[in-house]
Chain A
Amino acid sequence: MATAPELLPYQRIREDLFRPLSGVSRNYLLATFCAFVIGAAGLVAWSYQLRRGMGVTGLQRPVFWGIYIVDFVFWIGISHAGTLISAILRLTDAAWRKPVTRAAEAITVFALMIGGMFPIIHLGRAWLFFWLLPYPNSRLLWPNFRSPLLWDLTAIVTYLTGSVIYLYLPLIPDMAQLAEHNTTWRRKFYRTLSLGWTGSDREWHALERAMKLMSCIILAVAVSVHTVVAWDFAMAIAPMWHSTIFGPYFVAGAIFSGIAALLVVMAALRKVLHLEAYLTRHHFNNLAKLLLLMSLLWLYFTLAENLTVWYGNEPKEMAVFGARTRAHYAPYFWSTVVLNFVIPFVLLGIRRLRTIRNATIAASCVLAGMWLERFVIVVPTLANPRLPAASGFYGPTWVEIAITAATFAAMAMLYMIFSKLFPIIAVWEFKPHPQEED
């Protein structure tokens, strides 16, 4: 049957978005190989740590939370890209969200998978992680449900379950289309995953209802997850941790780093998969404005947190404050201010400078800045505890650095594999809109 001419753009969209799934370029293989090598180096480092014990890390009294916990908080923060951005934009029916949401939802799932690994790596005896689970056992030992660590476990399990479903649901119609357009093993793969989707109105209605409900639920879960991560710190009566604003402070930081991650990923996808017609300046501009807003909010929270400590002048808190702003950790602290506020404010605040390239640079700075910010929150407090004689210093070893680098490589690798299996933009959702053009 002939296709009406006015429908050709839709076919073109489909072809454009399905094209990256077929064929593998040399650059793709090279990038995957590099990511694999870095990931493998991280696995070697972890196996070394498992054999030799936690002594191979820089963790020593009194700093028992190092960059594994920094990585954990950072990746859980990144995971807020998808669900929060996608859910908020879906609920408000923002038309420009359509090419952005799947990329964001995929970030969420991968970042959670990676972030969830860190408490296990940090355990030392990783094979005993199941002790955290409530299960009947011969020693009549049960987890302490009052412990924030168990709060983390339940929060992450819930968030990961919700995020996987939230990513999977809008993939179903696209996978049904892909099953029709493929012949090899992919046909079976997509057909199985699409559960026999036919495109009937009952299916569409159920999907739309489910997506709306899931958006509401996932918003609440996302906010709770990072609040719980913040409470891991705030529930301890430690200087500069025991703060009532830590929950919203962490949530704001998570959204901030999540938007930055999304911008970086979008810029990479745009370049590598040639999606210039779909990920336009309009999308980058909107996300850049959101990033700028979150940068200001981050500054506000940072100021509120530090000003009250400084004004209170409580000796133990001032010791940590001094370590952060004037002593050992000052370079990190002031770097976070430059990376999270000064650079984004200049590059994104001045309209003429708000280009795709500058938005990507600003977002990359924010990612680095937010990692450092997590470091500045975690380490100086532990290095300056309430007992003055117990103060110490922490520097990560090659094992910790290799494992950290491996997680970034793992994120890249997971994303590259995902982009070869599934369309990175929801084809069925995407309709060209005049306002979306450059």
Chain B
Amino acid sequence: MYLIGEFREKDAVRAAIRMLRETGVRPSELDLFSEEPVEFPRGVLDRPSRMSLVSVLGAMAFGSLATAFIYWTQHNYRLVTGGMPLFSFWATGVITFEMTMLGAIVATFALFLWESGLVRKRDYSAPVPEVDPGAICLRVRCRAEDAPQAIAAIRRAGGHQR
């Protein structure tokens, strides 16, 4: 089942998260909803990300593929170069660079869509609270028997259950 607590202060949310985690709730079972980003110190509600790594991998993949494509094309469909090399990294380096950057852009965007959950299969049974300006809503997924404990934690922290 899902519980939703509404808070006005960031510190109250932080206290609620701490208390809920002490009762055994995992970070993956918690979701915050707000109209602007809410920042917490490391360790409160971390969301591990592989965006930087994937961005670098995307860049390397596109860069390598572009270079291989140019190399293959210039060796298979030869131009008259007047004795100069058929493939010159100096002369095609700009294309390699731009394609490398394009790879980073595409990978970053794709991972943004994935990590934010915007393109993943959603759990439509999970309620999405309507958030008032300035308010922060905390959604907790827990078993029915753990609900009273979670509700108590939300109230103790200064929130109210919706």
Q: B109 in the interface, Cβ–Cβ < 8 Å?
A: yes
| A209 sits at the interface (CB 8 A) | yes
CB within 8 A of B108: which of A157, A173, A199, A210?
A: A210
Cβ-neighbour of B119 out of A146, A169, A195 (below 8 A): A195
0/1 string, B75-116, CB within 8 A of A gives 1:
001010000000010011011011101101110110111011
The bracket for how many chain A residues form the interface is: 35 or more
Q: Does A197 contact B (CB under 8 A)?
A: yes
- A111-119, A214-222, A287-295: which lies at the interface: A214-222
Does B118 contact A197, Cβ atoms closer than 8 Å?
A: yes
Q: How many chain B residues touch A (Cβ–Cβ < 8 Å)?
A: 50
Interface residues of B in 34-53 (CB under 8 A from A): 34-38, 45, 47, 49, 51-52
CB distance from B140 to the nearest CB of A (A): 13
Given A207-B116, A208-B37, A214-B108: A196 and B99 interface contact (C-beta under 8 Å)? no
When the two chains form the complex, which single residue of B35, B69, B116, B128 contacts A202, counting CB atoms closer than 8 Å? B116
In the complex, chain A residues whose CB is within 8 Å of the CB of B37: 201, 204-205, 207-208
Q: Give the nearest-CB partner of A165 in chain B.
A: B109
Contacts of B35 on A, CB cut-off 8 Å?
173, 177, 199, 428
Task: Contact check, B34 vs A204: say whether CB atoms are below 8 A apart.
Answer: yes
Other contacts beyond A165-B108, A195-B119, A217-B104: 16, CB < 8 A: A4-B8, A4-B134, A6-B134, A145-B70, A145-B95, A154-B102, A158-B99, A177-B35, A195-B113, A199-B35, A200-B31, A202-B116, A205-B37, A206-B51, A209-B115, A214-B108
A interface residues with partner B (beta carbon < 8 Å): 1, 3-4, 6-7, 10-11, 14, 134, 140-142, 144-146, 148, 150-151, 154-155, 157-158, 161-162, 165, 169, 173, 177, 195-210, 213-214, 217-218, 220-221, 224, 228, 231, 428-429, 431
**7 shortest interchain CB distances as A-B pairs:** A206-B116, A7-B134, A210-B112, A201-B32, A146-B91, A204-B37, A154-B98
